Structure 1
Amino acid sequence: MFQDSKMPSKEKSAECPFCENILNTKYSKCYNIYCKGKEFNKDNFVLYRLNYDLGVGKIKSEVNIPASKTLDDEDSFYIKKYKVEFPNKIIKIIHPIDLIHYTFEVNEEVLTNEGKGVINSPRLMIQDGVISYEVILPNGKKTQIFESEIIKSYSSPIDEIIHVEEFSSPKAFHLKYLANLYYSYYTSHQIKCITNSRLSLMPHQINVAYRLSQKLYPRMLLADEVGLGKTIEAGIYIKEMIARNLADRILIIVPATLVGQWKFEMENKFNIEFTIYDGKKVKKLNKKGHYAHSEALKNPFYYDNLIICSLQFARNPKYINLISQISWDVVVFDEAHHLRRYLLNKSTGNYRETLNYVLGQNLSRSTESLLLLTATPLQLHSFELYSLIELIHPELFDNFSDFEHFRKNMPFMNLLISNLNNIEKLNTFELKSTIKLLKDLNYVDDFENEKVSLMLKNYQKREDIISKIENDHTLSQILIRNRKKNIFSEDFLNERVVKTIVVKPKKDEMEIYNQIRLYLAKIYNNSLDSKNSNIGLGFVITTLQKLLTSSKYAFLKSLERRLTQIERLKNPLLDLKHFEDEEPEFFESELEEQNIDSDLNGKHRNGQKVNLDIANQEKILHNFYHQLKSIPYDSKSEKLLELVHKIYQNNPKEKIIIFTQFVDTLLFLKRTLIKQNENYHIEKFYGGMNKYKKAEAVEKFRSSNRFSILLSTDIGGEGRNFQFCRVMINYDLPWNPMKLEQRIGRLDRIGQKSKEIYIYNFFMEGTIETDIILALNKRIDLFTQSIGNLEPIIGKIERDFKSLIFIDDKEKQKRLREFNQNVESEIKKAKEMEMQLDDMLIDKKSFQVKNILVPNSCRDVKLGHNELFDFISDFFSLQNPSYGNLKTQKKLKDDSKNEDSEIVEIELNKVYLNNRNISLAKKYIGTFDLELARKREDIDFFALGHPL
């Protein structure tokens, strides 16, 4: 319809042609709620602001799309969208919020029903969404032409080429042909992620992708067990929706500690760049633009269409309504069990909603597709699962009682299917029971048993009954739950070899530990009785206790800062901000974790003051500091050096990851290890490093041929997979068992090259932490088994852990016994709830081999990585220097294929970047080779779907 030269470039500010509001550019969206440009009608010329490269389109019709996306035909309300036709016959269904009117400029030539004309006036008229222009026709006549009467811009791309007597060369024509061919591959019905993502996909993940892709806009609950890759499954689905032009606006909401991991996975595995939204980002965006009307709509969530944010941020009352005003194509909630309601009265059905759940409800109404990810959808009560189902398909059950009735019938439905499939093996009593159950559930008429028995001998009639039972199992239609036992054989799973390293502190080390612990316990326990207690005090004390257990050096550094602060400020109040500045990733992780299920918002702690009466305790702190400083040895670090040296002697090329909670401990260990042996290759990896430094550290650790050590914090390791490493050392142990599981999960995951994973855990003999963790390990097998199924009780375990740390020695044994009994009781409850999800029909639908073997092989798509490399190389050689250039940077030996794989550098022309309304980097370094891309997470993977 219009050529690319009409597309927006980075211009100066402009006026909205409808309300004269000041815009960033002519092609910026006007958010004045009174602007008439918000109205659209058939035959309007429009731009799609999420993809200007489509060109100028024309509205063909209005489309009403059901808002609730129910399983039935009836829906409560509809979302109005528009069917738009773009050049090359591309059709898209678009929400009006993402459309911009394309307006013709003075002297622009247009082709109308009355012939060629020229726009004569900068002023356009609009009434009820119908736009008209003053046009001068060839006979000199001025007339008002409606937009519907304008066929197109007078100049078309082919006209321009003919007029300048310029035709494409055969090579250029061939490139255009290939571009269209590859685009058709990418937007086809096939699942692209098999070849176009940096993935080594497992069969169950392909199956999930197939299940999701069967529906236009699925609303599902993904409840795979921990370790089966729910993040990857969601990423496959997102990539498919983008590739098929079905999704432009996508929102991912996750716990705060997982935001960085999700962003990394989406970029690294799928070449999809999401923007992280938090308070700082919103504040920055609110400063952009100018608004002519004081009540003009200001919504920062309009600026980006691929957004990741934390649950703690999104549920903030300031943002819930704003984020829900957007018409999202896809919304994903990770750890969705935090979207919780509490049942107050079972008989009346009364419940209390949390802010998390209110957020889920609002977004459920404003999104087309909704994915809820959780390994534990049914935690401590079946009402929790019902609440999640209400978010996905509120019409599925009339009320909670209806859901309970269905849930209690699930075992009978499974029994019926099992018996019908083995009808010949049933004895007389089993056959009678089966017939009675079929009658009770209305699957057969109330005939004589002999007649029913005769009917059941007919294979087709049995299959019809089984099909009816499966159709009645509504939960299997919306819930996918893969289990390791159904997917992997025992031989496939890795073995965790756990080694306990007991550190025996010397007498003076133990004495100072006990003095400091009792001192901290006194302050902590006094704070619980105080009327003015707050969240900050408990956090400060527990942080100091964890530092004490982590390393003497880390605790000394913290004491130094405390004493310096007292000396400088002469202020008995301790600002939490100081702790946040010292260990930002630990602070954020711990505090956000405490708040995730509360209705408090993470940032409420800013500016909190904790009255520790430090001024009066200065002498005590100085005394602790000098006692610790005077001890010339460190039994714990000495034990680490001994262990590392032993591993080094056994295998001088071994790779080890050492985990700690604190950066101060990490830096101390690096210096200590280098002193022991300068031949050790040591890299550090923590949250404060930028993504390039992190990628560089991981690559150096991976590719080193020397004895290599990666020192990592908990947050630093999130999102990274270290299948090439088989040894990990937990120098300190987190109080939350799930954090320990996440550490082990960096190594113990699909693709691990070693059958055995070696886990060394450091314990300080005689400390309360060791007593608690060893007691806990006896009951939940902390280190050798995955404990993801126990996540519902982990929060309570951590709270009990904290209270035990600060008890008096006299109460210690009694409280430990109570702790053990409580843990056993909670484990029993959690396992009972998990058993309620044991369902043959859900398992059957979740993992079907036939769905993997037939439609998802992509055998009909013949695009290999070499072909794509040749295509891109030809493009840059033909267009150079208009767009940029491509050159081979260096060659690496690809051991898996025993051949050279090229690393390529693509640099884009600065002028081209400035003239395009797209976000691209100036330079990309990557590879077209999938195997090399899987090894080298620090470089880009060039495949269909890459931003380029």
Structure 2
Amino acid sequence: MRTEPAAAERLAATLTRAKLEKQFTDTVFSFRATRTIFRPYQFKPVMKLLSTGSLRLLIADEVGLGKTIEAGLLWTELDARRHANRVLVVCPSVLLSKWQREMRERFGFELTELTGTGLADLKDRLESDRLPRRMAWICSVERLRAWKGLADIEQLGLQLDLVIVDEAHVFRNSNTKSHALGELLSRWADAYVFLSATPVNLRNNDLYNLLELLVPGEFQDLADLQERIEPNRVLNRITGSLLDASVSNATRRRWLSGLSDSTFGRVITMRSDFVLLCEILERPHLSPTDVAQVKRICSELGGLSAQVTRTRKIEVQEDKAMREPRPVPVRWTRREHDFYQAYLQWCIDRARVKDTPLHFGMQMPLRLAGSCLPEAAALVLASWQTPDVQDEVNATAKPSAAVRGPDVPPSPRLRKLAAGIDVDTKLEQLLHVVDGLISQRRQGLVFTFSRRTLSYLERHLRSRCRTAVLHGGVSRDDRAKIMTDFRAGDYDIVVATKVASEGLDFEFCSVLVNYDLPWNPMEIEQRIGRLDRIGQTEQKIVIINVTTPGTIESDILERVLTRIGIFEHAIGALEPIIESMWPDVESSLLDFALTPAQRTQRTQEFLAAIAEQKRAADEIESAAPHLISSDGVDIEGLEPDLLASGRYVGQQELALLVSDWVGSYAGRCRISGDHITVIGNSELASHVRELAQRGEKTRSEVDQIISDLTHQLPIQLSLDQEASRTTGYRS
């Protein structure tokens, strides 16, 4: 049965329907169409897609600016234009869950993981021409590059609408399996998007190799790439001066004349847009319209503007949370101090007998003592001859036969000292910190490297506050539930191991407690980066380091980490530098064959090398904006412009469209503020079912809606993006 809604509402719905059906190129369908908080700069890739038509793009934003969101917005835009029916996301294995969660919660896309069985099924369906018309997959780069069926898939001619590759710098080295995979994906994909926070270094082949995958044959070699983007120095200097009242148009024209100094610059001077640019710069003053036009022309004239978009944190005009480190020193009792020193000497003796470096063979036993003295004492007191106890004590992050063989059992003195550990001064300090957080009604994320320490802390915290734990043994579903509950405020404290620093976002939490320090600076940055990211509303992120003077962590590692400045600010471009240098530094700092003075000297040499590398990285970063435009599209004023012009599909428009559809077929729809309640019927359900039958939606996308409509169950919809993400309402 069909009914007629009110005339005004029907007209509004008809206009919205026309927008969606005609797919106007100046309409941004992804604006306010997702479950994500809007950040203007995150629409740069979408605007570049619309302005250039390029479907091949490298998003090279700095860490923490939301490249995943930018990729999701691109996907949303392409999907609204019916150009994203078959999508593949490729990422490191540790990020699989994050991508699935982000795409589901923020954009409503369901990603199906391609496991070994899934890849075999994909091949079978392709061979029998049964590949779904609409599907979204995700696969780890590790699994995909090692899959033996790649050659068969290539021969069968797999075609994908959109391929997104996260951490795409894994493709940068030619003559590797990863690079070969990148070449295959390039041939399979219509739209191909790379995400990488790696600093853009134009002095080596990394960028050239990535661009060769994105746009094969566009550049002959590295020298050709550098020649083509040389004019960007002039063009970006002009756009960077447009708001500087001290720079005259005469000066800009003089800069522009410098284009004739390069081969590709001379080519640019022959283009009609260049003539128009010169005419505009002949004017004594630039109006706001002139400024926008100059930006557009310079962007279109510049080399690489269609393939690369890059945003740096310094360019984003937002209140950035400050990092505030707060050391919480622990003063051990004499018994605790004596036990640690005896335990340390035991580890040194064991490493010597095993003929293995201390930091390699004894890393985990040593770290356990610095983390949780009672647990280290418990291991010493356990039956030493039991194989599983030896295995636990020998556990190392770098398994090797070197930790087996001859060994040194704990001495009677060490066992006696272990039996005397009847207090835990470090735990007492943590409990004091936790009590303070609860009194302030603040949530805290407590990190430890050790599962033993995690279990120990859980036992002591559960009776004091609402506590949950995250570690490698927690299933994906349980991990997601804990994250949802923590975000909703159902937990005061979450105690986590390294697993929580890989791919999970805690931007709703502003207190991080390092109960122990990792022996790698990158892990510290990963821990802090879980909180210090887009969406963090607090002005300060408090980083509490529970440290114990006299331990390796405090006396050696904390000193180096503090000097690097890792607790105060993100290390950004230094990340790959520190990561490459750290193994040698670690072996020197923990070489007890060296005297304290020699270890100090090695520390100073490392810090000096870091300072020099930082200077070089800063040079690269300061040069990059002159070579690769970060202003390829005019983002300033994007939101008010779209709102004023109506070049997007707004929430109220969609609400009236839904109401029109539901009312036309005897359903019920109620709009109340930002919420819509729909009660349907079997006829409405059949309309939705037809979307899946035509291949415009998958069954998994519509099955629940069909069921609710058929059984006339209330369907709750939200017009507020963030409320939709955090409450679970559809958007």
TM-score interval, normalised by the smaller of the two chains:
0.7 to 0.9
Is the CA contact (8 Å cut-off) linking 1:206 and 1:852 kept in structure 2?
no
Q: Which runs of 5+ in 2 are unaligned?
A: 271-277, 709-713
CA 1:731–1:779: 2 relative to 1, 3 Å: same
User: Of 378, 398, 401, which aligns to 1:610?
Assistant: 401
Pick closer, same or farther for the CA change 1:406–1:635 going to 2, 3 Å: farther
Structure 2 residue 703 is the aligned partner of structure 1 residue 918: no
Given that 2:451 and 2:497 are in contact with CA atoms closer than 8 Å, whether structure 1 keeps it comes out as: yes
Task: Specify whether residues 510 and 542 from structure 1 end up closer, same or farther in structure 2 by C-alpha distance, changes over 3 A only.
Answer: closer
Residue type of the partner of 1:716? A
Q: Is the 8 A contact 1:563 1:621 kept in 2?
A: no
Larger helix share, 1 or 2: 2
Contact 1:273 1:306 in 2 (8 A): yes
| CA 1:369–1:617: 2 relative to 1, 3 Å | same
* One of 137, 141, 147 as aligned partner of 1:311: 141
The structural deviation recorded for 1:236 is 0.9
Q: Show the counterpart of 2:221.
A: 399
For 2:3 and 2:191, locate their aligned partners in 1 and report how far apart those are by CA, in whole Å: 44
Distance 1:411 1:196, change over 3 A: closer
Choose the corresponding residue for 1:487, options 307, 316, 339.
Answer: 316
Q: Which residue of 2 aligns with 1:602?
A: none
Q: Distance in 2 between matches of 1:550 and 1:671?
A: 16
Structure with higher Rg: it is 1
1:869-915 Cα distance to aligned partner (Å, 9 max, x none): 76798799869xxxxxx99xxxxxx9xx9x99989999999xx99x9
Deviation at 1:481, TM superposition (A): 1.0
Q: After superposition, what is the alpha-carbon deviation per residue over 1:87-146, rounded to whole angstroms, capped at 9, x for unaligned?
A: xxxxxxxxxxxxxxxxxxxxxxxxxxxxxxxxxxxxxxxxxxxxxxxxxxxxxxxxxxxx
Q: Is the counterpart of residue 550 in structure 1 residue 339 in structure 2?
A: no
**Partner SS, residue 683 of structure 1:** strand
Identity of aligned residues (%): 24
SS of 1:838 mapped into structure 2: helix
Structure 1 residue 843 and structure 2 residue 659: aligned?
Answer: no
The whole-number CA distance in structure 1 between the counterparts of 2:166 and 2:383 is 38
Deviation at 1:468, TM superposition (A): 7.3
- CA drift of 1:386 comes to 1.5
Within 2, Cα distance between the matches of 1:515 and 1:941? 58
Rounded Cα–Cα distance in structure 2 between residues aligned with 1:442 and 1:353: 36
**Which of 768, 778, 781 is matched with 2:552 structurally?**
768
Q: 1:555 to 1:331 in 2, by over 3 A?
A: farther
Give the alignment's Cα RMSD to 1 decimal.
Answer: 5.2
- In the TM superposition, what are the counterparts of 1:16-415 in structure 2 within 5 Å? 168-170=1-3, 188-189=23-24, 190-214=27-51, 216=53, 218-279=55-116, 281-282=118-119, 285=121, 305-316=135-146, 318-321=148-151, 324=154, 325-341=157-173, 353-379=175-201, 381-407=203-229, 410-415=232-237
Provide the rounded CA distance (Å) in 1 between the counterparts of 2:681 and 2:518. Answer: 43
**Offset of residue 235 of structure 1:** 0.6
Partner of 2:307: 478
1:507 to 326, 329, 337: 337
- After the TM superposition, which residues 559-708 of structure 1 pair with which residues of structure 2 at under 5 Å, given as runs? 566=387, 610=401, 612-613=403-404, 616-617=406-407, 619-620=409-410, 628=418, 630-649=420-439, 651=440, 653-675=441-463, 677=464, 680-704=465-489, 708=492
Provide the C-alpha distance between the structure 1 equivalents of 2:386 and 2:663, rounded to a whole number of angstroms: 63
Per the TM alignment, residue 566 of structure 1 is displaced from its structure 2 partner at its CA by 1.9
- Compared CA separation, residues 835 and 524, structure 1 to 2 (3 A): farther
Distance 1:902 1:305, change over 3 A: closer
Partner of 1:883: none
SS of 1:848 mapped into structure 2: coil
Alignment of 1:928 onto 2:712:
no
SS at match of 1:658: strand
CA distance in structure 2 between the aligned counterparts of 1:184 and 1:322, rounded to whole angstroms = 43
Partners of 2:555 and 2:133 lie apart in 1 by 52
What is the Cα deviation at residue 755 of structure 1?
A: 1.8
Shift of 1:795: 1.9
- Residue from 816, 827, 831 that aligns with 2:603: 816
* Residue 720 of structure 1, CA deviation: 4.3
Identify the residue that residue 740 of structure 1 maps to in structure 2: 524
Quote how far apart the aligned CAs of 1:329 are: 1.4
Change (3 A) 1:774 1:329: same
Q: Secondary structure at the match of 1:496?
A: strand
The 1:854/1:413 distance shift into structure 2, 3 A limit, reads closer
Q: Which amino acid aligns with 1:202?
A: R
AA paired with 2:356?
N
Q: How many Å apart are 1:408 and its aligned residue?
A: 5.1
Note closer, same or farther for the CA distance 1:564–1:737 as it changes in structure 2 (3 Å cut).
same
Answer yes or no: is the 8 Å Cα contact 1:482–1:846 preserved in 2. Answer: no
Secondary structure (helix, strand or coil) at the match of 1:786 reads: coil
- Asked if 2 retains the 8 angstrom alpha-carbon contact of 1:717 and 1:743, the reply is yes
SS in 1 for 2:218: coil
1:559–1:621 CA contact under 8 A, matched in 2: no
Q: Deviations over 1:714-746 (max 9, x none)?
A: 423555443433222122233443433333233
2:274 — aligned with what? none
- Asked if 1 retains the 8 angstrom alpha-carbon contact of 2:54 and 2:306, the reply is no
SS in structure 1 of the partner of residue 64 of structure 2: coil
Aligned length: 687
Q: Which amino acid aligns with 1:812?
A: R
2:699 counterpart SS class: coil
What amino acid is aligned across from residue 549 of structure 2 in structure 1?
E
Query: Pick from 468, 471, 493: which aligns with 1:709?
Result: 493
Letter paired with 1:370: Y
Query: What's the offset of the Cα at 1:192?
Result: 3.8
Structure 1 equivalent of residue 591 of structure 2 = 807
Q: How many Å apart are 1:518 and its aligned residue?
A: 2.0
Other structure's SS at 1:267 match: helix
Cα distance in 2, alignment partners of residues 860 and 466 from structure 1:
27
Q: Find the residue that maps to 2:46 and give its secondary structure.
A: helix
Q: Give the partner amino acid of 1:711.
A: V
Secondary structure of residue in 1 paired with 2:193: strand
* 2:158 alignment partner AA: I
Letter in structure 1 aligned against 2:499: I
Spell out the pairing of 1:840-879 with structure 2 (5 A cutoff).
Answer: 842-855=629-642, 861=650, 863=652, 867=656
Paired position in structure 1 for 2:621:
834
Structure with a larger share of its residues in strand: 1
Shift of 1:560: 9.6
TM-score normalised by structure 2 residue count: 0.77
Higher RCO, 1 or 2 (CA under 8 Å, sep at least 6)?
2
Q: What letter corresponds to residue 316 of structure 1 in structure 2?
A: A
